[in-house]
Amino acid sequence: MQARSHLLGMMLMLIVLALPGWAQAQETSDSRSQGLYRLPASSDIIGHVKIVEAAAKDTLIDIGLRHGVGFEAMQRANPDVDAWVPGKGTEVRVPTRFILPPGPHKGIVINLAELRLYYYPPVEEGETPRVETFPIGIGRQGWQTPLGKTTVTMTIKDPAWYPPESIIEERAEDGKKLPRVVPPGPDNPLGEYAMMLDIPGYLIHGTNQPRGVGMRVSHGCIRMLPRDIEYLATRVPNGTQVRIIDEPVKFGWDAAGTLFAQLYPVQHGGEKSVDIPSRSHAMKRLHDTVKQPPRFLIDFGRLEALRMDPDGIPTSLLLTGLPFPMPEPPQTFFTRTHLSKTFYNRIDASLQD
């Protein structure tokens, strides 16, 4: 009897595991399924845009961080949705489709323009190449994150923070006294992990303020969500190459050979800190991507619309209609003859004179 009960229990468990709903629930409950992709062999694009319904107390930050997307990206993708009170049942677009950044698929690539980090982990021979992507927070105006190539030199668990003199002075101007050393714990802005870079004073680290990930709020370092930095820092070996770029215009091909574009606002210092990508830069990037005439017409009108209003969503540039309004076709000779009988009668009369 006990053996029969055990057998029935095992059969029931197998049936439950086979149900699609159960498998989906297990997959979506795993936070590490966010941002992990196989590296496509014949495409430059990963992921898919998601449409989700907001809960009553959701903000765009809450929805985005649940899906591995930062605040600025969520705002761009949902310009007509209230960022703080989307409203229960409101459909929200989650921009989880990405064109891979230009350059080698190696090590860590940080694209400041899209506030995103890409990691191409090393694989053994015969293994499927992978790419992992995560939202980041970067330096605000006046504290820009530097560009260039560097390497990971060391990973630290539970780092202490030694604030530089410039930050101590900045806090003092706001009436706040900052200690020379902030020990590990909830008040430490580095979080639980930090990866030191071969650039003095700059780190890739966690945070004690996760809602700031996906924004330009740091003093130049690269912030990550606590779950993301723990996952990354425990797997990235010392000596890994880190390439920091600032590329607001990305082009890439899908598996069918269609060209896509993904554009972001340009961020820089000065009075006008946010701008649109220049037309010359967009055309140069297009020329670099399309090295020979494509098999289809490129929709330059759509590209110009993306440039003027960059939303960070990969968009097809396949021309499917008229690129611009066309004038009415000219009338034929015979049509004009019927419409201008009097004119031609006058010609005939003049010939008879």
Structural domains for the chain: 103-245 (2.40.440.10), 249-316 (no CATH)
Query: How would residue 172 be classed by pLDDT, with cut points 50, 70 and 90?
Result: confident
Token pair 């560009």: residue: 147
Identify the pLDDT of residue 9.
37
> What does the pLDDT read at residue 34?
80
Q: For 307-323, what is the mean pLDDT? A: 88
- Give the mean pLDDT of 174-180: 76
Taking phi first (over 0 means left), then psi (-120 to 50 degrees means alpha), and beta for anything else, what does residue 161 get?
beta
Residue 67 annotated to the active site: no
pLDDT band at residue 143 using 50, 70 and 90 as cut-offs: low
At residue 12 the predicted structure's pLDDT band, cuts being 50, 70 and 90, is: very low
Structure tokens that stand for 108 in this block: 């860590």
SS3 letters for the chain? CHHHHHHHHHHHHHHHHHCHHHHHHHHHHCHHHCCEEECCCCCCEEECCEEEECCCCCCHHHHHHHCCCCHHHHHHHCCCCCCCCCCCCCEEEECCEEECCCCCCCEEEEEHHHCEEEEECCCCCCCCCEEEEEECEEECCCCCCCCEEEEEEEEEECCCECCCHHHHHHHHHCCCCCCCCECCCCCCCCCCEEEEECCCCCEEECCCCHHHCCCEEECCCEECCHHHHHHHHCCCCCCCEEEEECCCEEEEECCCCCEEEEECCEECCCCCCEECCCHHHHHHHHHHHCCCCCCCCECHHHHHHHHHCCCCCCEECECCCCCCCCCCCCCCHHHHHHHCHHHHHHHHHHHHC
Whose tokens are 């005939």? That residue is: 348
Is 287 an annotated catalytic residue?
no
The band of 255, judged by pLDDT with boundaries at 50, 70 and 90, is: very high
- Report the candidate in 332, 252, 351, 324 with the shortest Cα–Cα distance to residue 294: 252
181 band by pLDDT with thresholds 50, 70 and 90: confident
Q: How far is CA 301 from CA 13, 118, 186, 308, 318, in A?
A: 55, 30, 50, 11, 11
47 beta partners: 97
* Residue 52: per-residue pLDDT: 97
As a whole number, mean pLDDT of residues 63-73 equals: 94
Lowest-pLDDT range of 1-10, 63-72, 162-171, 279-288: 1-10
Residue 352's CB is within 10 A of a number of other CB atoms, namely 5
**pTM of the predicted structure, to 2 decimals:** 0.80
Angstrom CA distances, 322 to 47, 80, 298, 301, 309, stand at 30, 28, 11, 9, 21
Q: Is the pLDDT of residue 350 over 60?
A: no
221, 268, 287, 338: which one is catalytic?
Answer: 221
Residues 287, 279: Cα–Cα separation, whole Å? 12
Instruction: Decide if 111 contacts 128 (C-beta within 8 A).
Output: no
Average pLDDT score over residue span 317-333: 66
Range ranked top by mean pLDDT from 15-29, 227-241, 282-296: 227-241
In the predicted model, what is the mean pLDDT of residues 244-265? 95
Structure token pair of residue 144: 């820009």
> pLDDT tens digits, residue range 192-206?
999 999 998 889 999
Stretch among 130-139, 173-182, 311-320 having the lowest mean pLDDT: 173-182
Catalytic residue among 6, 205, 219, 287: 205
Strand partners, 318: 298
For residues 256-274, give the mean pLDDT: 79
Which range has the top average pLDDT, 192-196, 209-213, 265-269? 192-196
**In the predicted structure, residue 10 carries a pLDDT above the cut 50:** no
Is there a contact between 94 and 74 (Cβ–Cβ < 8 Å)? yes
Q: What pLDDT is attached to residue 29?
A: 32
| For residues 178-197, average pLDDT | 89
According to the model, what pLDDT value does residue 17 have?
30
Q: Is the pLDDT of residue 16 over 60?
A: no
Question: What is the pLDDT at residue 141?
Answer: 57
User: How would residue 259 be classed by pLDDT, with cut points 50, 70 and 90?
Assistant: very high
Q: Percent of the chain having pLDDT more than 70?
A: 77
